[in-house]
Structure 1
Amino acid sequence: MAPEESVEASRLLQSFERRFLAARALRSFPWQSLEEKLRDSGPELLLDILQKTVKHPLCVKHPPSVKYTRCFLSELIRKPSGDSVTLSESSAIISHGTTGLVTWNAALYLAEWAIENPAAFTHRTVLELGSGAGLTGLAICKMCHPRAYVFSDCHGLVLEQLRGNILLNGLLLESDATAPAQHPGHNTHNTESPRVTVAQLDWDIVTAPQLAAFQPDVIIAADVLYCPETVLSLVRVLQTLSACQKDRQAPDAYIAFTIRNPETCRLFTTELGKAGISWEAVPRHNQKLFPYEEHSEMEILKLML
């Protein structure tokens, strides 16, 4: 960076720092200057802004309100992407007998990884298992340009909230179906937007033909390893998806999770081995876009189906 550019960047960072520490109105921040600077800078500038604001030692010790922080981050994310993700979710961890109405840390972590690795999803059909509130999928749809995206879950209220969040973010939603329309190259609306489908999938009763009909290129799931029963059901679904590919290339699969109970995580890898599914850990990514507990131990496994 040239000396004059370095001075400009320092002034911009200082401006963000002072306004954030003073909890000034977001409209007072130099957003236009940031957009102009981002045209010539990489994501490092955004990381520097995070260090001067959300991750500033004073804010870590005396954090501003959650609402203020979320609004700030939403505006910040919008600058490099030209867009943002808006979610409606429950304020309770467990509501109506399900944990799917709230976004969990591994979903945020996987979304960050996807934003840093868009080529893994670009022009491909993605099947998400256990989509919950939909943040990961919405981020991928807006930032990674998949050809088609299938959100799935089993709980009726989760699916209802999920459909609302998809529409809230300006994506067109195809009619509910067991599988998306069988014309992968056909898109009846904006060609820059993926075909989006919501499917009700109960891992315990879904059949091989139902799973085969999705024809995914990529399979993802986040924060679904929360009990042994769920682990066993997930592995069964992954094994079925692997077996029903026939002459098609096996899809890539990425499973993100927070390591809360090491025994549950070991059960997952053990069951993968029994099912003949090999795996490898994905290196930690550099994106830090969302306000979650960074000290939580999170991991993404890439599975070879």
Structure 2
Amino acid sequence: MALSEQKEEKPEDILRDFRASFFSMNRLASFPWTFLDSELQSNKSSEFISELLKQTCLHPLCGKFPPSVRFRRIFLSELIKREAAGCDPLDELYDALAEVLGVEETLHCHKSYFLPTGDAISLLENVAVISEGTTGLVTWEAALYLAEWVLENPQVFTGRSVLELGSGVGLTGITVCRSCSPVRFVFSDCHAVVLEKLRENVRLNGLGGGKSPSVTVDQLDWTTAPEEQIRQIRPDTVIAADVVYDPEVAGSLADLLLKILKCSAAAEILICSTVRNPETYGGFKLRLEAAGLGHQVLTGPVGAVFPYNRLAPIELIKVFRVQEG
């Protein structure tokens, strides 16, 4: 769904939607093509496409953190097809396609997500959804949803020490660091390749290096993490997104959350999941119960900031320790 769908369609809104969808490499079918077609038919001018190019392929961000080569080729080809049906050829458009045709495809790309301030979070991701034995090298819907929830609830993170489990490429955690002023943020994962990419993304977004907040990227294995490591972090808030898709890790995660609450009793724990398999997700909740943990579903819509599939079944829960007796 295009971000502008719920508001009056103005050219500046549509340009922002195209920019947001282009840099996040959103599905091409979700772009606001209808407005573009209408604009071309009514004005018979390539002026809007020229502006559109400035917000996408010719934007300075594209030169620094470009989406994948294949994505840019398909996007430009779609623009050319629609322009050819509606107005005179635009040299800039064909020049942009010629330039990208000469670029070799790689296994990596950049995706950028615009915050309400207009600043962008840019992430180095893998083109393939599953790569090097992990799904942690791309951004998933639950991370985007949780990041939007973060922007609406900064008080949960402001002035606090925050631990993120299964940080992946870092979208949610970087949103917290850039928007909520935590005193400390600990990104964590267990996969060496993910940690390497995560450290690069933290650096790309100007975090760490003695700047505020204090940021670290730690290896944290849920099955072997010692209590001493948790005590050293002593988190006030714990977050995780899209980490319960595998039934084999559900028990390890539940045990880890219990360990965290034993070390930091007042910690606020938030787990956001895309419910792809209800049986797997239900099994995770049963493992929470078996570990003596309860949960509360946090309902209510969040403001649309990032473009992604909003039809995906996403649930955010708060996990807490059940009082005995």
Work out whether residues 122 and 145 of structure 1, in 8 Å CA contact, stay in contact via their aligned partners in 2.
Answer: yes
Select the structure of larger CA radius of gyration.
2
Query: Aligned residue for 2:176?
Result: 140
| 1:201 match | 220
Aligned residue for 1:6?
A: none
User: 1:255 is matched with which residue: 271, 277, 299?
Assistant: 271
Within 5 Å, which residues of 2 pair with 1:1-305? Answer: 13-17=10-14, 21=36, 22-26=48-52, 74=113, 77-78=114-115, 80-173=116-209, 189-190=210-211, 193-245=212-264, 249-305=265-321
Contact 1:116 1:285 in 2 (8 A): no
- Would the alpha carbon gap of residues 166 and 18 (structure 1) be closer, same or farther in structure 2, given more than 3 Å must change? closer
| Structure 1 unmatched runs, 5+ | 1-8, 30-61, 63-70, 174-188
Amino acid in the other structure paired with 2:248: E
Unaligned runs of 5+ in 2: 1-6, 19-35, 37-47, 56-81, 83-109
Question: How far 1:276 sits from its partner (Å)?
Answer: 1.5
Residues 126 and 18 (structure 1 numbering): CA distance in 2 closer, same or farther, change over 3 Å? closer
Q: What per-residue deviation string (whole Å, max 9, x for no partner) do you get for residues 252-276 of structure 1?
A: 0000000111011111111111111
Q: Percent identity?
A: 45
Helix, strand or coil at the partner of 1:103: coil
The aligned length equals 236
- Where does residue 55 of structure 1 map in the other structure? none
1:23 CA drift (Å): 4.2
TM-score scaled to structure 1, two decimals? 0.71
Q: SS state of the match for residue 239, structure 1?
A: helix
CA deviations 1:113-147 (Å, max 9, x no partner) are: 00111111111010000000001000111011111
Does the 8 A contact of 2:112 with 2:123 survive in 1?
no
Task: Summarize the Cα distance change of 1:129–1:275 in structure 2 as closer, same or farther, 3 Å threshold.
Answer: same
Secondary structure class of the residue paired with 1:132: coil
Q: Go from structure 1 to structure 2 and tell me whether the alpha carbon gap of 1:97 and 1:116 turns closer, same or farther (over 3 Å shift).
A: same
* Deviation sequence 1:243-296 (CA, Å, 0-9, x none): 223xxx510000000011101111111111111111111123332122211111
SS state of the match for residue 289, structure 1? coil
